[in-house]
Amino acid sequence: MAKNKKPHRGKGVTRREFMTNVSAGAVAVAAAGTLGAKDAEATAVIKPEDMVTIDLQINQRRHRLLVEPRWSLLFVIREKLGLTATKFGCERGECGSCTVLVNDVPLYACMMLAMEAQDLKITTLEGLMQGEALGPVQKAFLEQDAYQCGYCTSGQIMAAEGLLRKQPHPSIEEIQTGVSGNLCRCGAYPHIFKAIAQAAKAR
Amino acid sequence: MDTKKEELYFVHNTPVPETPAPGQKPEPWQQTQMVGQRRARVDGYERVSGTAAYPSDVILPKMLYAAILRCPHPHATVKKVDTSAAVKMPGVHAVISGMTPATNPVWNYRTWEGHLKKSKLFDPHCRFEGDTVAAVAAETPYQAQDALRNIDVTYDVLPYVSDYRKALDTGTPNIHAEGNQVGQPQTQERGDVAQGFAEADVVLEETYYTACEIHTPLELHGCLANWDGDRLTVWESTQGVYAVQATIAEVLELPLSKVRVIGHYMGGGFGSKGDTSKYSIIAALLAQKTGRPVKLFLTREETYLATGNRPSSHMTLKAGVKKDGRLTAMEFTAIGASGAYPAGGTSLLDWLIKDLYTCPNVRTHTTDVYINAGPARPFRAPGHPQCAWALEQMMDALAEAIAMDPIKLRLQNIPDFSQARPGNPPYTTTGYKQCLEEGATQFGWQQLRKKYAANKKDGNWLRGVGVAGSSWFLGNGFGPATIILKLYADGSVNLNMGASDIGTGTKTIMAMVVAEELGIKPEAIQIEHADTGTTQFASVSGGSKTVPTEAPAVRDAAITVKRRLLEMAAEDLKSKPTDLSLKNGKVFIKNNPSKAMPITAVAKLKQHHVIVGVGNRGPRPTDKTVIPFAAQFCEVAVNAHTGEVQILRFLGAHDSGRVMNRLTYDNQVFGGITMGIGLATTEKRVLDHNHTGKMVNRSWHEYKLPTSMDVPADMQSVPIEIPDDVANTTGAKGLGEPVTIPTAAVVANAIYNATGIRVTETPVNAVQLSQLLAQHRKEG
Ligand code: FES
Ligand code: FES
């Protein structure tokens, strides 16, 4: 399921600096909303004054904002910037509905902290639009009916876009592998494969 | 047939407005222009551009985020909830629990017999891991989770029972006062079973298991609640906004007019978002208490524990057949688990045994039990895929025992009436024979069977093919369904419908029906739907009944609008309305098509600005029953050493009446097959029976859904299109559930064909199969 290649780190804090900023308990909270049995270690909480200013570059626009170090890129994109095309299905790297491009590579936005995303080139589904017009992958998904409920769709499209940026003429196996990190419970897979093949031709 | 079971999804036996009146029924469509085409969805742009605002996407000013504290034990009593530390935490606005009586309303549940049992929103008796204990609203979801961790709950941990096969053993703890049996075991019998077995040439008996499955739609369960004074608005990811409205109004004692539920988009439900859950009430209470909008979406882990499942089942089937292929008797005994509350643990589990094949002597006996685990909910075709897993493997085994082709055995036993419904009503249409025959031809069944009978080996791989069939107990829709259609002076249309589009393409199909009748483009139709504040009542979208329920009502509304429009145009054209017709946005005289005028030029329409048409669902036939049928085929390769199964291709041949939109139709077929592949090969809830009673695999990493790598790219849909004009005025029968019913059995039969091994327990997996293969080699 892993999306290969980690993007190189930007100027922000190093992992070590980050770990000393945030208590271990809070990191665990960020990683997964666990069921809430009381956990003695989890009482340490970041104070508002610990918030940090970061620069994010999303869809070719710069956003400067104040975040808690533990906030995921996904949380910031959706709930703070209102870019809700990026969905959340698990917030722990299982489903792919939060897939965005980070320096052209599809990655799970729930598995990256907003701080880590500084100075990286981030593209969300909104960034594939040309004004009000659909991009080629979006158009192919529409025409091939490559979705049902549509909730996994943004992630599928971003995974497909990333695949096509790297491999403009994918084989069917490469297509299947390319979206293998993106679950579709509705089972629109055969139409997703067709849409990606169509988009590859159209690009 | 007990009506109780028909109530799984909807209101039954309720007098409802129905149009057209008898005698006014519109003619069935002959040649359609629009209906049946391959049309991309009318809301496709929103879905692929990201502008569709799903309930989880809605953001309001000052919005808070809520989270629920759930019981970590499978069985416990809450003694004390100490929230003193949590309320003081940064960002926390409110904490509620069973200790705060003002926010602990009555939450009733129904026994399987239909009696109301009183309970509370925060019931101190926690009957499953994941039961609701307390809830928090805070400024960020992170702070809400922090607060949960600082709520101190004192539990009395009780002994549990998690294994449904042991639930009735003596000495097991009681989950409810009346014991662990849900209602009375159900026995149904026809003919003389003992006599039937005596007449058989071959009698086989086998025990089958299916594992418990969790729905896990991609969009999490949840909602956003906001008050304006005494008016509540809830954006909820649901299959039925009216169902949610009714429950919230009842629990919070509000008039329906003060509760507005909106669900324009929703990211999948498969039955798990048909019921109203406690979280909707909790969000409303927290919003009221804090005076702020509150968004409450569960974590993925919570959805595994507390939002329903397809119960596991343990089924024994004994069947007798004569050498000529006539079934003489069947006896079916099954046990299933509702979970911690009555929830239909064996609901419809025996339906196919009683109804799919002609058999004079049948006895079924089902027992539903309580266990300390999350309650079941309807899951795409309740009971049916499990029953097909048993019945369709048995049919295969019987065919082999009498040396008959498995398709031929099925063809030999196809009834044209329902044996399970009282009065044995005939089916309106049955395409089961064509599903099997046409499917077999397109699949290449005969050739492949011959080929693999001669040689299955392909290196380390063994190849085989399988078939299975099914029906779904409910193929029609029915009222209440009300549609309001407005034709504007510029020829565009507004369609107002209460039903949710749960991903099946409902909106697109309704637009196509309007376009068919009014001769306009589907793109000219604006749809307003799934909002209790602005649309008309609709039942929950589920049971494959949405299209057969809503489409006839839409057609009725369109015909009403058309009639009115033609009356108006007749004045302009100096003609009779009955001599006029509509096409491409123009009204023309039927026998003089050159005399035409655009809709926009109709004088009265210009003056009135709008024509409003109201449509209702017509009556359904009372003397016949409407049933969809299916046959599916697949080819597999099994690694003789590792037990790995590769599904190479799949074909689904379905009789669901008229094909409304071929593009979304095929998508449904493939989606159903994909979900069935999950039942067959990947999905299983694992409970730790021995030590903790807790669910072990509460994530998509550990509870596997089929991914793009687990399904064949080669899937084929073969519609068996028999418009069912008796069922309703559009000729459509249900499609969404039939498409997943036979799939798992098809896979099992193909594996048997390839290996000679009968896998009776889902999910088939490499570990299990490699052991069986090794055993088989030893014995062989
Ligand atoms: S939400 Fe990020 S992978 Fe599921
Ligand atoms: S379209 Fe519903 S999950 Fe993919």
Q: Which of B47, B48, B216, B218 to mutate to test the pocket of ligand 2 (most atoms within 8 A of CB)?
A: B218
pLDDT of B222 higher than 90? yes
Interface confidence (ipTM) of the complex? 0.96
Check if A188 contacts B (Cβ < 8 Å).
yes
- Residue that is last in its domain, among B584, B616, B648: B616
Q: How far apart are the first and last CA of chain A?
A: 26
Q: Is A149 in the pocket of ligand 2 (CB under 6 A)?
A: yes
Say how far residue A125 (Cα) sits from the centre of its chain.
10
Residue A203 has a pLDDT of 81
Cis before B385? omega within 30? no
Please, which residues have CB within 8 angstroms of residue B522's CB and are 6 or more apart in sequence? B34, B39, B42, B508, B511, B512, B514, B515
- Structure confidence at residue B26 as a pLDDT band (50, 70, 90): confident
pLDDT of B538 higher than 90? yes
Task: Give domain status of residue B334, yes or no.
Answer: no
d(CA B56, CA B59): 8
Ligand lying closest to the C-alpha of residue A154:
2
pLDDT in tens, B284-295: 999 999 999 999
Mean pLDDT of B508-512: 98
Tokens for B297, please give them.
Answer: 């979406």
Q: Are B219 and A98 in contact (CB under 8 A)?
A: no
Q: Are B342 and B412 in contact (CB under 8 A)?
A: no
d(CA A29, CA A34): 7
Three-state DSSP class for residue B478: coil
Q: Are A158 and A149 in contact (CB under 8 A)?
A: no
Q: How far is B225 from chain A (nearest CA, A)?
A: 16
The torsion angles phi and psi of B649, rounded to 5 degrees, stand at -160, 165
Dihedral angle of Cα B508, B510, B513, B515, to the nearest 10 degrees = -60
pLDDT of B532 higher than 50? yes
State whether B514 and B606 are in the same domain: yes
Which contiguous run of DSSP H or E holds residue B372?
A: none
Domain region containing B712: 348-358+371-475+624-779
Residue B16 has a pLDDT of 59
Angle between helices B241-251 and B278-290 in degrees, nearest 10: 60
Between chains, do A187 and B145 touch, taking CB under 8 Å as contact? no
Regarding beta strands B202-210 and B313-321, do their DSSP bridges make them parallel or antiparallel, or are they unpaired?
antiparallel
**Of the candidates B388, B378, B410, the residue with the CA atom closest to the CA atom of residue B472:** B388
**Of the candidates B450, B477, B475, B478, the residue with the CA atom closest to the CA atom of residue B464:** B450
Three-state DSSP class for residue A56: strand
Question: What is the CATH T-level fold of the domain A52-202, as seen in this structure?
Answer: Ubiquitin-like (UB roll) (3.10.20)
Q: Are A113 and B230 in contact (CB under 8 A)?
A: no
d(CA A109, CA A77): 9
Q: DSSP label at B780? A: -
Between chains, do B67 and A157 touch, taking CB under 8 Å as contact? no
State whether B459 and B510 are in the same domain: no
- Structure confidence at residue B619 as a pLDDT band (50, 70, 90): confident
Q: Is A7 in the pocket of ligand 1 (CB under 6 A)?
A: no
Residue A6 has a pLDDT of 42
Q: Are B464 and B456 in contact (CB under 8 A)?
A: yes
Regarding beta strands B715-719 and B645-655, do their DSSP bridges make them parallel or antiparallel, or are they unpaired?
parallel
Mean pLDDT of B628-633: 98
Mean pLDDT of B556-585: 94
pLDDT of A9 higher than 80? no
- Structure confidence at residue B714 as a pLDDT band (50, 70, 90): very high
Residue B371 has a pLDDT of 98
Residue B778 has a pLDDT of 83
Check if A73 contacts B (Cβ < 8 Å).
no
State whether B144 and B279 are in the same domain: yes
Residue A32 has a pLDDT of 42
Atom of ligand 2 nearest to the CA of B268: 2
Between chains, do A84 and B48 touch, taking CB under 8 Å as contact? no
Q: Which position has the token pair 């009265």?
A: B604
State whether B485 and B468 are in the same domain: no
Q: How far is B454 from chain A (nearest CA, A)?
A: 30
Domain boundaries, chain A: 52-202
pLDDT of B408 higher than 60? yes
Check if B700 contacts A (Cβ < 8 Å).
yes
Please, which residues have CB within 8 angstroms of residue B504's CB and are 6 or more apart in sequence? A148, B541, B546, B547, B664, B668, B735, B736
State whether B525 and B636 are in the same domain: no
pLDDT in tens, B642-684: 999 999 999 999 999 999 999 999 999 999 999 999 999 999 9
State whether B425 and B557 are in the same domain: no
- Cα of B219 to ligand 2 centre, how many Å? 9
State whether B105 and B239 are in the same domain: yes
State whether B234 and B260 are in the same domain: yes
Please, which residues have CB within 8 angstroms of residue B748's CB and are 6 or more apart in sequence? B389, B393, B466, B680, B758, B759, B764
Alpha helices (H) along B165-257: 193-199, 241-251
State whether B515 and B578 are in the same domain: yes
Report DSSP letters for B398-457, one per residue.
Answer: HHHHTT--HHHHHHTT--SB-SSSTT-PBBS---HHHHHHHHHHHHTHHHHHHHHHH--E
pLDDT in tens, B322-353: 999 999 999 999 999 999 999 999 999 999 99
Task: Give domain status of residue B90, yes or no.
Answer: yes
State whether B430 and B462 are in the same domain: yes
Mean pLDDT of B758-763: 97
Check if A3 contacts B (Cβ < 8 Å).
no
- Cα of B301 to ligand 1 centre, how many Å? 13
Q: Is A147 in the pocket of ligand 1 (CB under 6 A)?
A: no
Mean pLDDT of B142-163: 98
Which contiguous run of DSSP H or E holds residue A121?
A: strand A121-123
d(CA B215, CA B378): 10
| Strands, E assignment, B599-699 | 610-616, 629-639, 645-655
d(CA B526, CA B42): 9
Regarding beta strands B645-655 and B629-639, do their DSSP bridges make them parallel or antiparallel, or are they unpaired?
antiparallel
- For the domain that residue B123 is a member of, what is the CATH number? 3.30.365.10
Please, which residues have CB within 8 angstroms of residue B86's CB and are 6 or more apart in sequence? B92, B95, B136, B147, B148, B150, B151
Which contiguous run of DSSP H or E holds residue A191?
A: helix A189-202
The torsion angles phi and psi of A125, rounded to 5 degrees, stand at -55, -40
Which residues 119-138 of B have a C-beta within 8 angstroms of A? 130
Nearest to A43 among B150, B670, B673 (CB): B150
The size of chain B, in residues, is: 780
The torsion angles phi and psi of B253, rounded to 5 degrees, stand at 55, 55
Mean pLDDT of B373-387: 97
Strand partners, B155: B78
- Residue that is last in its domain, among B573, B590, B616: B616
Check if A148 contacts B (Cβ < 8 Å).
yes
Q: How many domains does chain B have?
A: 3
Residue A45 has a pLDDT of 59
Please, which residues have CB within 8 angstroms of residue B509's CB and are 6 or more apart in sequence? B547, B551, B660, B661, B664
Residue A35 has a pLDDT of 47
Check if B13 contacts A (Cβ < 8 Å).
no
Q: Is A105 in the pocket of ligand 2 (CB under 6 A)?
A: no
Mean of pLDDT over chain B: 95
Ligand lying closest to the C-alpha of residue A191:
2
State whether B427 and B551 are in the same domain: no
pLDDT in tens, A79-129: 999 999 999 999 999 999 999 999 999 999 999 999 999 989 999 999 999
pLDDT in tens, A36-52: 444 545 555 556 568 99
Between chains, do A126 and B50 touch, taking CB under 8 Å as contact? yes
Q: Are B338 and B368 in contact (CB under 8 A)?
A: yes
Mean pLDDT of B251-265: 97
Please, which residues have CB within 8 angstroms of residue B26's CB and are 6 or more apart in sequence? B20, B555, B556, B559, B729
Mean pLDDT of B310-327: 98
- Cα of A150 to ligand 2 centre, how many Å? 5
CB-side exposure of B499: number of CA atoms within 13 Å? 35
Residue B618 has a pLDDT of 82
Residues B522-546 as b or e (16 or more Cβ within 10 Å = b) = bebbebebbbbeebbbbbbbbbbbb
Residue B586 has a pLDDT of 93
Check if A14 contacts B (Cβ < 8 Å).
no
d(CA B548, CA B724): 10
Atom of ligand 1 nearest to the CA of A88: 1
Q: Which long-range contacts (CB under 8 A, 24 or more apart) does B155-159 make?
A: B155/B71, B155/B73, B155/B76, B155/B77, B155/B78, B155/B79, B155/B126, B156/B76, B156/B77, B156/B79, B157/B73, B157/B75, B157/B76, B158/B73, B158/B75, B158/B76, B158/B77, B159/B75
- Cα of B302 to ligand 2 centre, how many Å? 20
The torsion angles phi and psi of A183, rounded to 5 degrees, stand at -75, 140
- Residue that is last in its domain, among B556, B588, B616: B616
State whether B612 and B539 are in the same domain: yes
Tokens for B260, please give them.
Answer: 């507005």
d(CA B395, CA B326): 11
**Of the candidates B543, B716, B520, B736, the residue with the CA atom closest to the CA atom of residue B635:** B716
